[in-house]
Amino acid sequence: MAVAVVDTGVLIGMADTDDKHHDVAMEIVRGMDHGDIPTGRVTNYIVLETLNWIHNRKRYAKAVETYGRLNQSSGFEVLHAARKDFHRAVELFETYEGLSFGDATIAAYMEREGIEYLYSFDDDFDAVDWIIRLETPDSPYR
C-alpha cells in the first residue's frame, strides 16, 4: 500500500476554514479519503501538535472533531512512533536549524520507515534530503 506522511499544517488547514491552505488541504484529505493519493500516516507527535494548535485557539469541539475524523477515515493511519524515533529526532533537531522539534520527529519516523513522501506546506523539510515534500493533492505514484 502506498503511504505518505501528513504534516500538521495540512491537518490544521483541513480543520481551519480561515487557514490560507484550507482549500488545498481539503483536496489532499479528500484524495486520501477516496484512495486517489497515498494513505496518510499521522504519528502521535503530529496528532499532539495539531490538536494542541486547534484547542489553544478555543476550539475544543473542532479539536475533538479533527481527531475523530483522523481515526474514522480509511484514508489515514494514526500510529504511535517508536521510542527510537524520539532519540533520532533529537539528533535531527540539533543538525537542521530550520526544523522544529515536531518536524524532526516526522523526519526521524520517515527515515526509519523508509517513507520518502510528505504532504506539507512547510518548506523547512526541504533541507532534509530523504524527504520529498508534496504541496498539492497529486499522487507521487502516477
Average of per-residue pLDDT across 69-86: 93
Give pLDDT, residue 1.
63
pLDDT at 104 over 80: yes
Percent pLDDT > 70 in the chain is 99
- Look at residue 21 in the predicted model and tell me its pLDDT: 97
Cell 493511519 -> residue: 77
Res 114 pLDDT > 70: yes
- What's the pLDDT at 58? 78
For residue 42, report the phi and psi dihedrals to the nearest 5 degrees.
-130, 120
CA pair distance 86, 101, nearest whole angstrom: 10
Cβ(90)–Cβ(74) under 8 Å?
Answer: no
| pLDDT tens digits along 5-35 | 999 999 999 999 999 999 999 999 999 999 9
Helix (H, G, I), strand (E, B) or coil at 75: coil
- Please tell me the total number of residues recorded for the chain in this structure: 142
| Domain ranges for the chain | 3-134
Q: Domain 3-134, what architecture? A: 3-Layer(aba) Sandwich (3.40)
User: What is the arrangement of strands in the sheet containing 132-134, beginning at the earlier edge strand?
Assistant: 76-79, 39-43, 3-6, 117-119, 132-134
Residue 142 CA to residue 129 CA, distance in Å, equals 22
Q: What is the mean pLDDT of residues 32-55?
A: 95
Question: Residue 109: is its pLDDT beyond 70?
Answer: yes
